[in-house]
């Protein structure tokens, strides 16, 4: 499954520059839903999140679970969406230090899928991890 990157031209400058957390959260939903969001769908989810103050104007995510839940509804999925877990889960969001700041990627627990919203960044080292189940 080839997911679009945060650098996709249709997504605009804000997502391009600061959208790695947002795009990594959407990646989990897309994998579980077995469908890829179009750039227009990503923008619809983004604008809905901004309107609900789930995401700030600079793409800063205030509530990871709320972004996931909104994308889950958008994908018309039944059941419970993946939420933040304390120690382990189906997915891990890794926080990296890069040459230009912090960057986030997502990996599933079976190492079957990996999503880097901006592969052009030079990853230097891992700074943290958050699990989703």
- Give the integer Cα–Cα distance in Å for 132 and 119: 22
At 123 the three-state DSSP class reads strand
Based on the structure, what is the number of domains in the chain? 1
- When mean pLDDT is compared over 30-39, 95-104, 107-116, the highest value belongs to 30-39
Residue 89's pLDDT band (cuts 50, 70, 90): low
Confidence of residue 21 (pLDDT cuts 50, 70, 90): confident
- Work out the average pLDDT over 68-96: 72
- The whole-model pTM stands at 0.77
Print the domain residue range for 87: 9-132
Q: Is it the case that residue 59 has pLDDT exceeding 70?
A: yes
Distance (Å) of CA 71 to CA 22, 25, 31, 34, 99: 10, 9, 12, 13, 30
113, 81, 46, 8: CA torsion to nearest 10: 10
Question: Does 47 fall in a domain?
Answer: yes
Mean pLDDT of the chain: 80
Quick check: 113 pLDDT over 70? Answer: no
* Any domain includes 33: yes
| Integer Cα distance of 86 and 133 in angstroms | 9
Let me know if residue 3 belongs to a domain. Answer: no
């Amino acid at each position: 499954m080839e997911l679009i990157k945060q650098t996709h031209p249709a997504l605009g400058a804000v997502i391009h520059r600061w959208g790695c957390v947002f795009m990594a959260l959407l990646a989990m939903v897309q994998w579980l839903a077995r469908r890829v969001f179009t750039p227009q769908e990503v923008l619809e989810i983004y604008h809905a999140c901004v309107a609900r103050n789930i995401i700030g104007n600079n793409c800063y995510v205030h509530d990871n679970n709320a972004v996931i839940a909104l994308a889950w509804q958008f994908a018309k999925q039944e059941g419970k969406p993946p939420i933040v877990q304390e120690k382990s889960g189906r997915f891990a969001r890794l926080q990296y230090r890069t040459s230009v700041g912090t960057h986030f990627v997502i990996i599933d627990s079976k190492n079957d899928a990996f999503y880097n919203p901006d592969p052009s960044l030079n990853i230097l080292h891992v700074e943290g991890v958050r699990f989703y189940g």
